[in-house]
Amino acid sequence: MEGVPIRNARRGDIPSLLLLWNAMMKEISATDSRFALHARAQEHQTAQFQRWLQDEKHLIVVAEEGGRLITGFAIASVTAGNGWQIPVRVGRISDIYVAAPRRRQGVARRLTGRLLDLLYETGVGTVRLSVAVGNDGAHAFWRSMGWDDLEVVLQKGVEPGQETAPGA
């Protein structure tokens, strides 16, 4: 899909971004129910997209076919480093998604490339991302692009009535 333009997202793209975001979340939650959406998730994500499109620390790029059909997106942000390690500025890719019929055509690689270019233009020293444990396709994709493991994030559910830490 060499001819599919990659461009910065615009406010008018929010409805398409929401459709793709919902599809992404449906796929992810099918592999792990801990990613299931709550009843107000779409409302929350609409507000997020609106804020992010106005925030210079957030970057959203889209793949657009035929001048109007958005078939994929990628989102990143620029944050401060942790203060005791290099780099001082870190790029964080939070989401990347390509509609299922458009996969395996290079769209995700092109979205990633454009997003990385934009992140490096901001002066970040490294870019990080997280991948859901059960998302084997995403793991394979990122490894094929030269990414490797940095850390593992563990999670434990909170039992009802145990919302605070013991002794707190």
Averaged pLDDT for residues 46-60: 90
Non-local CB neighbours of 97 within 8 Å, separated by 6+ positions: 20, 21, 23, 24, 72, 73, 74
Query: What band does 121 get if pLDDT is binned at 50, 70 and 90?
Result: very high
**Which alpha helices (DSSP H) does the chain contain, by range?**
14-31, 41-54, 107-121, 136-144
d(CA 163, CA 152): 23
Residue 106 burial class via C-beta count within 10 angstroms: exposed 0-12, middle 13-18, buried 19 and up: middle
Per-residue pLDDT tens digits for 96-114: 999 988 889 899 999 999 9
Task: Say if residue 47's pLDDT is above 70.
Answer: yes
CA torsion angle 65 62 142 42 (round to 10)? -120
What domains are there in the chain, each with its CATH number? 6-144 (3.40.630.30)
**Contact between 76 and 124 (Cβ < 8 Å):** no
pLDDT of residue 143: 92
Per-residue pLDDT tens digits for 133-156: 888 888 899 999 999 888 887 878
pLDDT of residue 65: 87
Task: Say if residue 53's pLDDT is above 70.
Answer: yes
**Contact between 1 and 108 (Cβ < 8 Å):** no
Token couple for 51: 């804020």
Closest alpha carbon to 22 in 83, 99, 89, 77: 99
d(CA 144, CA 124): 22
Query: What band does 164 get if pLDDT is binned at 50, 70 and 90?
Result: low
CA angle (142, 148, 149) in 5-degree steps = 115
Mean pLDDT for all residues in the chain: 85
Residue whose tokens read 């934009």: 118
More confident call, 73 vs 89: 73
